[in-house]
Amino acid sequence: MNRYRVSICLFLAWALVPAAQINAQAVSSKGQQIYSQQCASCHGDNGGGNEDHYDEVLTGDLNVEDLAEVISDTMPEEDPDLCIGEDAMAVAAFIHRKFYSPEAYRKLNKARRELSHLTVRQHRESISSIIQAFNHELWINNEKRGLSAKYYAASHAKKSRKLKEETTATLDFPEKVPHFRKDRKYEGVKEQKLDNEIGIGFSAYWLGGLLAPESGNYEIIVKSRNGFKLFVNDTEKPLIDQWVRSSDDLEHRANVHLLAGRVYTLQVDMFTFKDDSATMELLWKPPHGVESIIPQRALLPSGTAEVAVMKTSFPPDDSSTGFRRGVQVTEGWDNATTNIAMEAANWVVPRIWRLAKTKPTADDRGEKVKAFCRRFVELAFCKKLSVEETQFFVDQHFEDDLSLTESAKLVIMLALKSPRFLYPGFESRSESFERARRLSLFFCDASPDKKLFEIASRDELKDDKPLNKQSWRLLYSPLGRQKLQGFFHDWLQFDEAAEATKDSDRFPGFDDRLKADLKQSIDLFLSDLVFEKEADYRKLFQSDAFFTNARLAEFYNLGDIEGESFQPVADKNADRFGVLTHPFLLSGFSYHNETSPIHRGVFVSRRLLGRTLKQPAAAVSPLTEEFNPKMTTRERVAHQTKEVACMACHKIINPLGFSLESFDAVGRFRDKDKDKPIDAKSTYKTRGGSQVAFNSTKDLADFLASSEDAQRNFIQRLFQFYTNQSVFAYGDDQLDKLHRKFVDNKFRIHDLLIEMADVVVKN
């Protein structure tokens, strides 16, 4: 009787299932059967592939209809006509639901937060931050730029003969240093008893800070006919010493390694005794840059204490998941951690008395050095040491018959080789210290600075208000600004764009200096948008501001602009909008002599829209002009990619690339190609299956600004860059939550970062 009732219930339950659902179940069953018979042998049971046939994971973002079209046209490879029509639709539906779609793939491959060691950047920055915590904190006024200058009517700094004190924008005086008087008639000098036979000379002193825009090797160049000393990040040992000139050379060079986002003391002392002129030019050649006068935006009127810059080479971080992670533990990495610990210890020891705030002859030197070491370990581990930990990591190393400096060196090396430093998540901390650690790594890729550590020591970060305040402080700090700039460089593939070279006959004037100007132009656009304005994500694509100097204005026909300094203008000759049409990127994703709709389309689809594109089975050389000299670039690309096997991806790529054909290979606006009117119209099919028509570049820019796919891709990439973790490791719905808040906050990038930091710190 019970079995009979159960059977009746099951029958009624089945009978009440809607017909559409029954049909969907039948289709799914049919799709599974077809996949098992025709696909699994190559692609594996769950699309994971196998080494003998197809080792790529079968995943992507085509909708069911488009996926069915690809299957119908190309699968199985040995007999594409075997699975077509309803069969192709059935197997596409099964694959899409089972493992192909991003949602299905994530269910099968659950994201998790991984225990990881410090990345290469985090390692170097953390050591610098730990040591910097023993110095005074530099407050940077972003409104003031330039160097503090003092001029004297004497060959040395003599108060009674001071001429003037001011802030100078740059050191760009190829003919005459300001306030130098050739006839030595100095006005305003208190002491007027001048010895005219030997002359009183002239001297100038420039002091301040140098702000490095990116990490790497900098070549510093000084051009002067007078005696001088140049100090960079060291006020005792000159980087260039020509105080006593040994030759008639006017140009002197030296190299220095700098970390981005740090401020380095910069000092130039110059004098002339009998010379009838005084000249000074201070230039640099940054990483990936060209030789130029150090600009005002990189100079600060106040200096700071010496920054510890570690130079030890590391194996590159793992980037196999699309973002950097500290997961590989190799012999090379282990050796590097030892070498950098030794480098840090050897850097500290000669400066130990200053850092410990004592003297080598002081009675309290022992206690002061031990106190320094104890604080060093606490900063490295981001916690207060217990009695037992203090004994193990500090005190015992001062008990042997060692000098204070040798003991300090042992403590530093032990701390920097400890898993407590190398693996930030290795051990539990108090809530405030754990939040401080996560917050600092998130915004600065470094250990907590002095201020944040002190706040954590007072256990204040348990409350949301001080936590939020520190988030905003770190976001606007030099390291915070530099990290956000680093994200844009990574997201927009600056490294690839910077490698662009052009045919000098076809594009005369497009040289390394112009490329450096273009990079500076887009950096200024991003900095202005993100830190000076409302930081509206949509303006990344919709702003018509283009930062130009005289050289760029002439090349891109932007009107009469004078000088080397940059200013924002609107390009009235073209529909130029934000990063999408900036010549730095447009030229970077073009060939040396013509545009590349494919490169541009791939960039827009992958980096801006987050589309998944399959790598081509084999490298294919593009059709050149010789194929048909009368064909436009668009026509050649359309001809070459018309095959069914190509169009699975190129129906995504081509429309996006074609919509940018109004700009040539160096990013200049054009209205013709091969004497034919430019055709930049196209129709793009979204991930959801909607058709979007682009009649102009502005249409594409507006689409990217409003596209939910683009917004979610931006959020996901930003989260990965800042955390070195997948956003889905913090919950399957975390991306949805962040996107809703992003929309609610009117797409402000800063608010999005604060929301992300909150997620990371509290989970």
Domain positions in the chain are: 22-108, 120-135+313-479, 147-300, 499-706, 710-762
Q: Is the dihedral of CA 290, 294, 295, 299 positive or negative?
A: positive
Q: What's residue 2's pLDDT?
A: 45
Answer for the pair 141, 248: CB distance below 8 angstroms, yes or no: no
Distance (Å, whole) CA 188 – CA 208:
25
Answer for the pair 658, 634: CB distance below 8 angstroms, yes or no: yes
What are the residues whose beta carbons fall under 8 Å from the beta carbon of 513, sequence distance 6 or more? 290, 292, 551
- 573, two tokens: 């000759």
Fold agreement (22-108, 147-300): no
Range with the lowest mean pLDDT among 43-47, 406-410, 633-637, 698-702? 43-47
What are the residues whose beta carbons fall under 8 Å from the beta carbon of 435, sequence distance 6 or more? 456, 461, 462, 467, 761, 762
What are the residues whose beta carbons fall under 8 Å from the beta carbon of 274, sequence distance 6 or more? 198, 199, 201
| 95-115: average pLDDT | 87
Q: What's residue 78's pLDDT?
A: 79
Q: What's residue 141's pLDDT?
A: 62
pLDDT tens digits, one per residue of 109-155: 888 888 899 999 999 999 999 999 998 766 666 668 999 999 998 88
What are the residues whose beta carbons fall under 8 Å from the beta carbon of 574, sequence distance 6 or more? 581, 662, 663, 669, 697
Q: Buried (b) or exposed (e) across 618-647, using 16+ Cβ within 10 A?
A: eeeebbeeeeeeebbbbbbbeebbeeeeeb
pLDDT-derived band at 49, boundaries 50, 70, 90: confident
Range with the lowest mean pLDDT among 285-294, 463-472, 581-590, 638-647? 638-647
pLDDT tens digits, one per residue of 708-757: 999 999 999 999 999 999 999 999 999 999 999 999 999 999 999 999 99
pLDDT tens digits, one per residue of 620-671: 788 888 899 999 999 999 999 988 778 889 999 999 999 999 999 999 999 9
Distance (Å, whole) CA 588 – CA 498:
6
Is 80 exceeded by the pLDDT of residue 271?
A: yes
Q: Is 131 exposed, middle or buried (0-12, 13-18, 19+ CB in 10 A)?
A: buried
Is 50 exceeded by the pLDDT of residue 8?
A: no
Distance (Å, whole) CA 70 – CA 62:
10
pLDDT-derived band at 194, boundaries 50, 70, 90: very low
pLDDT tens digits, one per residue of 196-213: 434 578 899 999 999 998
- 74, two tokens: 């190309």
- 549, two tokens: 């100097």
Fold of 22-108: Cytochrome Bc1 Complex; Chain D, domain 2 (1.10.760)
Beta strand segments in 19-126, E: none
Query: Residue 230: beta bridge partners?
Result: 240, 268
CATH class of 147-300: alpha beta
Answer for the pair 624, 666: CB distance below 8 angstroms, yes or no: no
Answer for the pair 553, 572: CB distance below 8 angstroms, yes or no: no
Q: Is 423 exposed, middle or buried (0-12, 13-18, 19+ CB in 10 A)?
A: middle
Distance (Å, whole) CA 162 – CA 157:
7
Answer for the pair 684, 656: CB distance below 8 angstroms, yes or no: yes
pLDDT tens digits, one per residue of 322-369: 888 888 899 999 999 999 999 999 999 999 999 999 999 999 999 999
Q: What's residue 672's pLDDT?
A: 94
DSSP class of residue 307 equals P
Residue showing tokens 């009695």: 387
Q: What's residue 212's pLDDT?
A: 92
- Mean confidence (pLDDT) of the chain: 89
Q: What's residue 25's pLDDT?
A: 55
Distance (Å, whole) CA 506 – CA 151:
50
- 590, two tokens: 């073009």
| 545-569: average pLDDT | 93
Is 70 exceeded by the pLDDT of residue 241?
A: yes
Distance (Å, whole) CA 174 – CA 153:
20
Range with the lowest mean pLDDT among 49-53, 62-66, 159-163, 214-218? 49-53
| 244-266: average pLDDT | 90
| 256-269: average pLDDT | 94
| 359-385: average pLDDT | 96
Distance (Å, whole) CA 725 – CA 112:
8
The candidate with the shortest Cα–Cα distance to 372, out of 332, 323, 409, 339, is 409
Q: What is the pTM of this model?
A: 0.90
For strands 691-694 and 682-685, give the pairing. Answer: antiparallel
- 442, two tokens: 């998130």
Answer for the pair 194, 187: CB distance below 8 angstroms, yes or no: no
**Single-letter amino acid code for the residue at 660:** L
Output 401 or 422, whichever has higher pLDDT.
Answer: 422
Output 60 or 416, whichever has higher pLDDT.
Answer: 416
